[in-house]
Amino acid sequence: MYPLKFEPILKQTLWGGDKIIPFKHLNDDLKGVGESWEISGVENNESVVANGPDKGLTLTDMVKKYREELVGEANYARFGNEFPLLIKFIDAKQDLSIQVHPTDELAKKRHNSKGKTEMWYVVGADEGAKLRSGFSEQITPKEYKDRVHNNTITDVLQEYEIHPGDVFFLPAGRIHSIGAGAFIAEIQQTSDITYRIYDFNRKDANGKTRELHTSQALDAINYEVLDDYRTKYEPLKDEPVELVACPYFTTSVYDMSEQISCDYSELDSFVIFICIEGSCLMTDNEGNEVRLGAGETVLLPATTQELTIVPQEGNVKLLETYV
């Protein structure tokens, strides 16, 4: 096996902006691209391999073909042929809806699906751009419903002005929304279940408001209030800094100007690298090479034992994630 790149799945949305195409250096004139699904095993949205002998196969094909070699023994036993993570870039030109995602337990009961725990890494932010995460004060489920109906739900949500490098961890059940001007990388469980709580009474091109799931969200929401919903970390040069470790993924950031060697001999998992800045050359223990530039994502199979990363252009910033 070898490091895998995939064709991006570009999604035009009502709220999409103009940052994703140039960031990924794509020769494309699509407008209003709100999301680029970088690595996806979601049914009917499976990523397609873009390089090497397996070019043209879907990610689902790859898991079925290589099984433990691709994802790791424990992951294959746990998830079977379903790839467990979904990687996206999201560019919001307008505020996204306020939403929540169910836990595994609730998603299994209602949709026979996985829940959705996720994290955000801020790639870029227009001046004044904000993210909402969690409640700013304690409210009851009844008050939640009343506030949605009288358009005051945003008054009790915690709001943060954001800057590149900011990190937010969003366990299933945490109410949240992405604000206008936010450009983020999102790492999440493989699930497309979203309860849309409030959409600012927006209408689409046909004058229709989007479907809301206010009642379904009622018992999916975790009403606990925290002092601070941001993920704090101390940036370091030329060594990985762990950002999030949870049952669904572990993610670190690399801020590099020098060569780094990674030892994966004890890790029973695939590894994903998302390039946020600069470009680098990656070489695995089999001698396979892959160049990764800003806006690109690569999947290293679980058979990878060692990896050498050499910066090529500018300062290199990478997100590393595995299960």
Can you say which residues are annotated as belonging to the binding site?
A: 101, 118, 176
Nearest in space to 182 (alpha carbons), one of 154, 204, 163: 163
Q: Which residues make up each annotated binding site for Zn(2+)?
A: 101, 118, 176
Looking only at the bridges linking them, the beta strands covering 250-256 and 289-293 are: unpaired
Residues 6+ apart with CB under 8 A from 165: 121, 122, 235, 253
Which positions are catalytic? 196
- b/e for 233-268, b at 16 or more Cβ within 10 A? eeeeeeebeebbeeebbbbbbbbbeeebebebeebe
What's the CA gap between 296 and 177, in Å, rounded? 25
Beta strands in 155-259 (DSSP E): 157-161, 167-170, 176-178, 182-189, 195-198, 230-231, 241-245, 250-256
What's the CA gap between 287 and 283, in Å, rounded? 6
Q: Are 249 and 191 in contact, with CB atoms under 8 Å apart?
A: no
Enumerate long-range contacts of 225-228, CB under 8 Å, 24 or more apart. Answer: 225/134, 225/135, 225/136, 225/137, 225/138, 226/134
- b/e for 280-316, b at 16 or more Cβ within 10 A? bebbbeeebebebebbbbbbbbbbbeebebbbeeeeb
Which SS3 state, helix, strand or coil, does residue 60 take?
helix
The half-sphere exposure of 249 on its side-chain side, counting CA atoms within 13 A, is 30
